[in-house]
Structure 1
């Protein structure tokens, strides 16, 4: 949902366009990766962005979640000197690797490792968005609901004045039937709504940027 696949803009691009208009700068996106996922190659080897002229750096992977990225976050934050982390993870964890409680434990480890690398780092974290599997699989939907509840509590518990955490608030109109192309991954409308959730959280919580307006 964050890395995107060949031919897409990605929500990262939508957010960058918004911040350029609302915030100006200086700011950039940072991370050790730049590629999109190439479905034909079944690997993250594509640079075919719909509009490649933006800071494409990120730390995201197709099929990667808290389980995969927690071991990487410390070095990534330390190397890139990231000030703000925008995180949308959890669906793949709950689907294949960890239950709600284990995933919440990984969130705590992720936050701790990021802070060990940069004590003042700030984070905006997106709950797991409703998706086609949750719509059809009741036990999975219960795990998603349980994790999102634990995530909200974790954000409150772990937030500090020096390293605040925010929970992004997905638009109530977000609907996997109209905002994704396959029940999970965002289409253009979904990209804007994900970007808006991050942008509005930073604006309301920290007075960064401004209310989201599709650019």
Structure 2
């Protein structure tokens, strides 16, 4: 049994009424992986915008393993102290990580965010020395179109993230940098310039799926039409 743990911020937890990219990736793995697998994590809920709490279970399709470690407004800063226990208790084999936008937007600069990413990796490996990780660069949101300093921090962090992945990658615990979704358009693939709509969910799921297929021969190329 291969255990995948999605780790992320609001783009990963999703909100009431959505499928989430976690669901799209589960669909893909179910059709192409060829072995037993599960999505694992200490949380299952969606974010409820009406109550400003992560208490909703109103998935567009609830019939999938909904476990994750994601939180609305949470970033590397918040997940680094949590990841060790989550990996240990859920016996995670592969971490699918999409973090950084909220850090850069509200909490830390690019260098501090990269330091927290390094701490995250170290804590995950302490819990499972053979854990594999796929990390998605930050996808600039609508704020980056009008806030040049913020856009520069995003670009700088993505450079540092690539260096971090290269520095920390090791054979027994591979660390893989996914390519940003090449066709991702915040005006078409989000509903508010930040959070993915259905097409955006597919783009993010595809980024993780393609990285694992190309680097580890896990699954097959992503076919959005098969999971519409």
**What TM-score do the two structures reach when normalised by structure 1?**
0.99
Task: Tell me if 1:145 matches 2:155.
Answer: yes
Who is 2:219 aligned against?
A: 209
Where in structure 2 are the equivalents of 1:64-143 lying within 5 Å?
A: 64-143=74-153
Tell me how far 1:141 sits from its aligned partner: 0.2
For residues 140 and 130 of structure 1, what CA distance do their matches in structure 2 show? Answer: 9
Q: Secondary structure at the match of 2:13?
A: coil
- Give 1:134 deviation, angstroms: 0.8
Count matched residues: 215
| 1:178 alignment partner, SS class | coil
Q: Is 1:173 matched with 2:183?
A: yes
Work out the CA distance in 2 between the residues paired with 1:147 and 1:199.
23
Alignment of 1:21-100 (within 5 A): 21-100=31-110
Contact 2:191 2:197 in 1 (8 A): yes
Counterpart residue number, 1:160 = 170
CA separation in 1, counterparts of 2:30 and 2:131?
21
- 2-structure distance, mates of 1:8, 1:24: 27
TM-score (norm 2): 0.93
**Considering only aligned residues, what root-mean-square deviation do their CA atoms show, in Å?**
0.6
Give the conservation status (yes or no) of the 8 Å contact 2:101–2:140: no
- 2:192 pairs with one of 179, 182, 186: 182
* Unpaired segments ≥5 residues, structure 2: 1-10
Q: What is aligned with 1:10?
A: 20
Task: Determine the C-alpha separation between the residues in 1 that align with 2:181 and 2:127.
Answer: 32
CA-CA distance at 1:171 after TM superposition: 2.1
Q: Which has the higher strand share?
A: 2
Unmatched tracts of structure 1, length 5 or more:
none
Quick check: 2:129–2:172 contact (8 Å CA) kept in 1? yes
CA–CA separation in structure 2 for the residues paired with 1:110 and 1:67:
9
What is the SS of the residue equivalent to 1:166? strand
The structure 1 segments of at least 4 consecutive aligned residues displaced by more than 2 Å after TM superposition are none
